[in-house]
Structure 1
Amino acid sequence: MLSPLRSQALPLLLAGLAMLGPFTINMYMPSFAAMRAELGVDDVQLQFTLSLYFMAFAFMSLWHGTLSDRFGRRLPIIIGLSVFTLASFGIAFSSSIEVIYVFRILQGLSAGAGIVIGRAVIRDVYAGAAAQRAYATVVMVFSVAPAIGPVVGGLLHSEFGWRSCFIFLGGTSALLLVLVLLILPETLAPESRQSMSLVSLVKTYKEVFLNFRFMSWAVSFALMFGGFFVYVLSAPVFLLEHLQLGPTEFLWLFGPATAGMMLGAYLSGHLAGHWPLPRLLRIGFVIMAAATLYNLIVSWLAPSNFYYYLPYFFVYTLGMSLVQPTITLLGLDCLPERRGTASSIQLFTQTGFNALLAAVIAPFVWGSPLHLAMSAASMLALSLIGIYFLRWMTLSGRISAASVTS
């Protein structure tokens, strides 16, 4: 049992660990022009720092949960934060893009430990509506990161240059490491730990990847999130070129999105145990669909007016955040004995798709606001199709009804 103080502090700490990911993605975006000039590189080479990060993040997300199932929850988080701290300071003192590539890979390999293992910690400690409320708290606090990351990055860049962004990341990671050592308990008992033999690993990953219900939730969530995240990855072009905003004005995208995510997470936690999960899913997707239709109209009729985009970012992320805890927990509940590994593969699926977005889709569609809106709409539509296909498979008796809403 956790003490009352630890019980209150734990979701906030897990949210702080989860915030490292978005900070690492978008904090240095306002500095792209300065980095391009100082390092003598072009936009594609800078975009590759995102792609490398996502590929490393996706690869290692397969292992964070498995390592936590074998060695406990605390040790992998402690090692991950230590590596991330060193990599962040390494970038701050790098003089070439090739060296930055190496440290970005190390950031990607280590940044996911907190968010992956944090999901498993929540399921170790909480059950039922309490788990949904705890996860909603994590999402609500974590939602601040996309807004304040580029704002803080822009301010740091204006005052101290682009390297200060990575010094800030290293300092933040070091502080989180201290808090983990002081606050985070070990939530996985020794007798519950899994073997890491090759045969056991192959069997575990096969069990998780071939679980149709689990993978349906994971892929649907990745697509749904991609409907917003394509704008995050395209922010330097979308905001600086299409909307003619400055390096310190990224708040026009991330501010409304953060407000929407925080409100959606609050509502999800508040409604946990009061509304059935199918209702939360339906309402969340209706909200996102309405926002997507509005965005298509705006990007067609008034593509250069940034004021018109603000309701879209707010409303879409509200609906997304409303259903995020439900989809995540339903996925984990498909594999109750493999929650660490399942959490890893959830994040691997999402981050792997983010890597595809960063390397291929975003550069292909960021040439015009309408193309961005159409890509976001396509991803939401595919996510909804996936969930309804899962429901149809369940109702037709082709798969078990466990952990599937109707």
Structure 2
Amino acid sequence: MYKKILVYLVSIAAFFGPFTQTIYVPMLPSIAEHFQASLDAVNLTVSIYPIFFAFMQLIYGPLIDKYGRRPILLLGFMVYLLATLGAALSYTIASLIIFRALQAIGVAVGSVAAITIIGDLYEGTMRGRSMGTYQMLVALGPGLGPIFGGFVGQHYNINGLFWILLGISLVFWLILWLSLPETRTPEAVNERFQLKQLTIVLNHRVGLAIIVLGSVQYAIFYMLLVLLPNIVDDVYHLNSSETGLIFLPISLFIIIGSIIGGRIQERFEVKSLLVIVASLHMIVVFLFALLASVSLTMLITLLSLFGLFLGISLPLQTTLLANELPRNRATSTGVYNFFRYVWMTIGPVIGTYLFWIGYRLEFLACGVIFAGLLLFVARNFFIKNL
């Protein structure tokens, strides 16, 4: 029971990352007015966050492997607390941009530490189930952030929102400090950090395959999120509130898929299962390109399937990574997260730039790229059988 509590505890620490990223997105116009700043400057407070969040994955991994899970998680989260305090006290857009970057630098520790600690606590089927719990809570972050921020910000403005976030975060940090033990296993690396440690996962055929798969899935996912409002406006002419509801099925089914992905690996071999699920995800990308304009019901069905297969894939990937690289668990997790978050940023940029060719051609191209990379992944997983 105590291990299960720790799984939820560290998963909540990871939840704060995506939750904080999107927390005031509904308030962007009012923030521009509040700070008397341009929308471009306000948007920078959002776009700067994933850049630092991604980069810090590479930093925290080796630190966690070298100095332990507990001290680095507590230290990183303390940086996040201080940055949130700075954001609450910000009265210029420049200072808000700086403290948003510092928030990302601090809270990025959560995603690396959570996967690493879960890998320490469990082996076998329970590791997979716990990874499902982790992915479920992380998947809740981007959706709950705007809901919470929109409601609180409407009553307390942007500074009040950060004061409330600070209070919640401080309580959580105290719970971490009182409850979290050191979980580093004897197999963990205890040597001096060298830059080449970051390449260990890239030189590992299964580790590299997982990074490639996670990167392409995240790139397509976030490209879909960015382009979806334009697609439904062009095809179905929905208003803003109706368009917002379109995002509900994909978010809901990512959560459902994460739960399923954590449990289904108890019955099947993880590598084979991951290739099958990723193949189904790839097929849905093709179907989206071909059938999304048939009817609104078909669109919602395809979005639900997209979220379901993505959700199932994620805990399979993190479980496999933890299994394959036990001595460098945190470092490999950091590199894996880094590439996913980089492509999470690149995907929407490319998708937006090429939107003029039409979403059908874009997603057909995504499907072809996905299929090619999936062959690379399968070959790396089963190279001994070829």
In which range does the TM-score fall when normalised by the shorter chain? 0.7 to 0.9
Q: Residue in 2 aligned with 1:244? A: 239
Q: Residue in 1 aligned with 2:301? A: 311
Would you say the 8 A contact 1:133–1:269 is kept in 2?
Answer: yes
- Percent sequence identity is 23
Q: Relative to structure 1, is the Cα distance of residues 110 and 253 closer, same or farther in structure 2, using a 3 angstrom cutoff?
A: farther
Which among 348, 364, 369 is matched to residue 353 of structure 2?
364
List per-residue Cα deviations over 1:320-343 (Å, max 9, x = no partner): 011111122223333221111101
1:147-296 equivalence runs, <5 A = 147-189=143-185, 192-196=188-192, 200-232=193-225, 243-246=238-241, 252-296=245-289
TM-score of the pair, normalised by structure 2: 0.87
Would you say the 8 A contact 2:31–2:158 is kept in 1?
Answer: yes
Deviates more, 1:380-389 or 1:149-158: 380-389
Q: Residue in 2 aligned with 1:392? A: 379
Q: 1:16: Cα distance to partner? A: 0.7
List per-residue Cα deviations over 1:122-157 (Å, max 9, x = no partner): 111111111101111111233222222211122123
1:60-71 equivalence runs, <5 A = 60-71=56-67
User: Is 1:85 equivalent to 2:72 in the alignment?
Assistant: no
Q: Residue in 1 aligned with 2:10? A: 14
Instruction: Classify the secondary structure of the residue corresponding to 1:143.
Output: helix
Would you say the 8 A contact 1:90–1:103 is kept in 2?
Answer: yes
Would you say the 8 A contact 1:39–1:96 is kept in 2?
Answer: yes
1:13-162 equivalence runs, <5 A = 13-162=9-158
Would you say the 8 A contact 1:116–1:343 is kept in 2?
Answer: yes
Mapped partners of 1:51, 1:141: distance in 2:
22
1:285 maps to a residue whose letter is: A
Deviates more, 1:224-233 or 1:64-73: 224-233
Mapped partners of 1:112, 1:380: distance in 2:
30
Instruction: Classify the secondary structure of the residue corresponding to 2:328.
Output: helix
1:291-370 equivalence runs, <5 A = 291-297=284-290, 300=293, 309-357=299-347, 360-361=349-350, 363-364=352-353, 370=358
List per-residue Cα deviations over 1:288-326 (Å, max 9, x = no partner): 245434433465567xx7x76433432211100111111
Instruction: Classify the secondary structure of the residue corresponding to 2:336.
Output: helix
Q: 1:232: Cα distance to partner? A: 4.3
Instruction: Classify the secondary structure of the residue corresponding to 2:183.
Output: coil
What is the root-mean-square deviation in Å for CA atoms of aligned residues? Answer: 3.1
Matched pairs, number: 384
List per-residue Cα deviations over 1:52-74 (Å, max 9, x = no partner): 21221122110112111111101
Q: Which has the higher helix share?
A: 2
Mapped partners of 1:143, 1:78: distance in 2:
22
Would you say the 8 A contact 2:219–2:345 is kept in 1?
Answer: no
Mapped partners of 2:139, 2:283: distance in 1:
21
Would you say the 8 A contact 2:76–2:107 is kept in 1?
Answer: yes
Instruction: Classify the secondary structure of the residue corresponding to 2:194.
Output: helix
Q: Relative to structure 1, is the Cα distance of residues 342 and 286 closer, same or farther in structure 2, using a 3 angstrom cutoff?
A: closer
Instruction: Classify the secondary structure of the residue corresponding to 2:239.
Output: coil
Would you say the 8 A contact 2:200–2:332 is kept in 1?
Answer: no
Q: Relative to structure 1, is the Cα distance of residues 174 and 379 closer, same or farther in structure 2, using a 3 angstrom cutoff?
A: farther
Q: Relative to structure 1, is the Cα distance of residues 383 and 47 closer, same or farther in structure 2, using a 3 angstrom cutoff?
A: farther
List per-residue Cα deviations over 1:166-190 (Å, max 9, x = no partner): 3343233222212211222110157
Instruction: Classify the secondary structure of the residue corresponding to 1:162.
Output: helix
Would you say the 8 A contact 1:223–1:383 is kept in 2?
Answer: yes
Q: Relative to structure 1, is the Cα distance of residues 312 and 365 closer, same or farther in structure 2, using a 3 angstrom cutoff?
A: farther
Mapped partners of 2:341, 2:173: distance in 1:
23
* Structure 2: stretches of 5+ with no match in the other structure: none
Mapped partners of 1:341, 1:174: distance in 2:
27
Instruction: Classify the secondary structure of the residue corresponding to 2:181.
Output: coil
1:258 maps to a residue whose letter is: S
Q: Residue in 2 aligned with 1:382? A: 369
Would you say the 8 A contact 1:81–1:176 is kept in 2?
Answer: no
Mapped partners of 2:27, 2:354: distance in 1:
22
2:372 maps to a residue whose letter is: I
